[in-house]
Each structure stands twice: as structure tokens, then as C-alpha cells.
Amino acid sequence: MDRDYTVLFRSTLRSMSRSLALYMHIPFCRVKCPYCSFVVYTRRAHVREDYLNALVAELDLRIASLTEEETRVARGPDGRFPLGTVYLGGGTPSLLSTETLGGLLDAVRSRFALVNDAEVTVETEPGTTDAETFAALTGHGVNRVTIGVQSFDDVHLATLGRAHSGSDARAAIAACREGGITNLDLDLMFGLPGQTLASWRADLAEAVAHAPEHLSLYNLTLEPGTPFAQRAARGTLSLPEEETQAKMMRAAMSTSAKAGLVHYEISNFARPGFASRHNRSYWTGDAYLGIGVGAHGFLPGGGKHGLGRRWWNVRAPERYADTVRGGQLPEEGAEELGREAALLEALYLGLRQRSGLDLASLPRRFGIRLTPEADAMLEDFALRGLIAREAQTIKLTQESVIIADYAIGELVGLLDTAVGSDTVVS
């Protein structure tokens, strides 16, 4: 065994994760919101059954293609892979009946060994659920629910083109608790057209008053090709000033902290013990399987370098179903990570998390260590307040998290040239 291979082999053993994460995409929505770039369809009711059958067929094809080496997860004694999290997202999964969602979860359970404390999440939209829905989902083993509130203000909801009102959101939250869900995530958005700091503060105050276990607070982004991006290019979409958006982020952090929600990732806040385990697998480089149209997946030991392979699926439901029926995985594209790409990704994802990036993990994961130049540069960044450095961990500060994309871009760009990527550490 040569030295390079020994390093990777040892690193693989040390970084074996306990279980896989599974995302299943349900691409049906009541309306297409003008800021949304997800793969969703509003007029495909006739393909739903075909699509759901294809989801299960893709699951079988994907499982048959997996190895322990590329997943870095060991199969159980019965040959099945352990599964730590399941996430039914979309789209609007709650447009499907609870029997249908339960059937999908049964299909998952019979193909994987769900770990005892598996996190099973379903995304829902206000106006598509009631207490019976949530009680039925609880009965099917769902233990975490996300409600896409976005705002409690009907004016903002209309601007966002949402199909629900603020009172629908309040009713959904009450129904969720009544239905027995004890791990509730509320999604809200800020930086909306016409939104003021005062109206964002009102949304935040109402959100924490509902005592959710988890809050996801997203800054509106203009995704290329969406109607919002087109309007912005024409100059007909007026967003809050950058300084106001920075104040909105500060308000999000202080309101959440006062409510006992810990800021653990740029956009995510949770009570202790309620951070999303599913999303953590995206940020820590663990294996996740994405099933369904437009879904992405990642295998940390995949690719010819053994440093990761990601794939993304075709977007049209008819083509997706046809491909799977033909016995082929419906991948539209794939990327095999080399050492540099894997390292950049680890830096980017590590810095997104408020716990920061463990520099000591770089030799183990990538066979590299920081050069003295990189070390000096990090000191300089710390002096400028862009990062906080504690021993071997670097993280964004309270201020730099507000300009996270800029700060991470700077750090990643500079570290990339200064990490000493030729150094193999045994």
C-alpha cells in the first residue's frame, strides 16, 4: 500500500459515519412562487402516481449501486444500510395524502435499517394541513415538521406569491402541536420587497412567541431565471437597502438568542438538542442520498480519488419516471471531487456552521496542513474581526456572519492558495 493510499484509507476508517441521510423530493405545489428556483410543478396531478412509484424504484436502484467504501457507512448484520434521517421535502409534500406519505415511509423502512432515534421530517405548507394530518403523520413515524410560514404578514405573503395567509400559518402551528409534533421548525424570510425592519421584527416576535424548537431564517436571494430576478434586472423590484438587511440579520440573531434558540448555522437556530441532524449531514460532508426530480446526492468516499462524488437528477417528472422504469439511475450530471475541490467544500461548509472549522481535521481528511503563510493570514483575519480563532478552530464572528457569503468567499479564496496541498501527512 503506498503512502497516499494509506493516508486515505486511515482517514476513511476514522471518518466512518454512523448512518446515511435520505432526502426525497415531492415536486408538487399549489402555485409557483416567483422567487423559487426549486423543481416544482403545479399542473401535473396526472403524473403523481407514476412519480411516486418511480421514487421507490429509484430508491432500489440507488441502494443496489451503493458500497460501504463510497458511503463510508457500514451495512448492518442483515445487509441493510443504517439510516439516521429521512426528509420528505419539496415542493409541498403535504399536498399528498397522509396515507401516501406513510406508504413512502414504509417503503423506506423496509429497505433501510432506521436507527432508533431516526429524525423523520416532513415539509408542510400552511393551508394544506389540519390536526388530523399531523396526528396521522405522527402515527407514520414523523417526528419533525417544517412549516413554510415565510411571514405572518398578508401583504408580504401576497408579494411572495404564496398561496396561504398569516392566519393559515397560525392555524397550522396550532394544529401541528395538537397533532402531537414536538419538534417544530418554522421557516421565515427577510429582505423582502417592501419589508421594513419594524415589520421583520414583528414577524420574528410572533415566530418566537409560538415557541418552535427550530427556526430557519432565510435572506431572500434572487435566483437566476426566476420572475423576481427578472424584475430586479428591469429595476421593478425594490429590496431593502443592504444596511437594513444587515440590521434584519442582527435582529434575527438577538431575538433568537433571547428566546433560547442557539444560532448554529448561518440561517438556522435551534433549542439545545434540536439542531437539524439531516441538514448537518449536508454541512459535515457525510453521505446523503437525494431521490426524485432535481435531487442532489453526495457520497464522501466516491469518485476516482475517493474524496467524494455528487450527482444531480433530471428535472422533468416524465423523463425521470421513464428513465427509472428503464432500470437506469436518473442522474443528469455528476462531479467527482479532487483534493482541491474537496478541501474548498470542507472550508466553505465548515465556516457556515457557527461551531466553525476544525483545522486539525484537514490533515486527516485531505492529507494537507496549513503552511506558515496560511497561518499568518488567519491571524490577520482574526485581527480584522473577520474570524474568531480558538486553538485549532476558526469561525465567523457575530459581525462577519452578517456578511457571511463575502467573508467565506475571502477566506476560502485565500486559504486555497496557502494550505500546502502537496503535503501528505501520515
- Is residue 33 involved in binding ligand SF4 (CB under 6 A)? yes
- Is residue 218 involved in binding ligand SF4 (CB under 6 A)? no
Residue 107's contacts (CB-CB under 8 Å, 6 or more residues apart) are: 56, 59
Nearer to ligand SF4, 33 or 86 (CB): 33
- Is residue 38 involved in binding ligand SF4 (CB under 6 A)? yes
Comparing every residue's Cβ against ligand SF4, the nearest one is: 36
The least distance separating ligand SF4 from the CB of residue 190, rounded to whole angstroms, comes to 15
- Binding-site size, ligand SF4 (CB under 6 A): 11
The least distance separating ligand SF4 from the CB of residue 157, rounded to whole angstroms, comes to 11
Reference 88, options 42, 146, 131; nearest CA is: 146
The least distance separating ligand SF4 from the CB of residue 69, rounded to whole angstroms, comes to 35
Residue 233's contacts (CB-CB under 8 Å, 6 or more residues apart) are: none
Pick the stretch among 87-95, 227-235, 237-245, 407-415 that binds ligand SF4 (CB under 6 A).
87-95
Nearer to ligand SF4, 90 or 317 (CB): 90
Positions 97 through 156 that interact with ligand SF4 (CB under 6 A)? 125, 148
CA–CA–CA angle 39, 228, 170 (5° rounding): 75
Please identify which residue in 90, 166, 240, 300 interacts with ligand SF4, judged by CB under 6 A: 90
- Is residue 80 involved in binding ligand SF4 (CB under 6 A)? no
- Is residue 315 involved in binding ligand SF4 (CB under 6 A)? no
Please identify which residue in 21, 24, 26, 40 interacts with ligand SF4, judged by CB under 6 A: 40
Nearer to ligand SF4, 25 or 72 (CB): 25
Nearer to ligand SF4, 12 or 226 (CB): 226
The least distance separating ligand SF4 from the CB of residue 160, rounded to whole angstroms, comes to 8
- Is residue 222 involved in binding ligand SF4 (CB under 6 A)? no
Q: Are 424 and 7 in contact (CB under 8 A)?
A: yes
- Is residue 91 involved in binding ligand SF4 (CB under 6 A)? yes
Q: Which residue ranges make up the site for ligand SF4 (CB under 6 A)? A: 29, 32-33, 36, 38, 40, 90-92, 125, 148
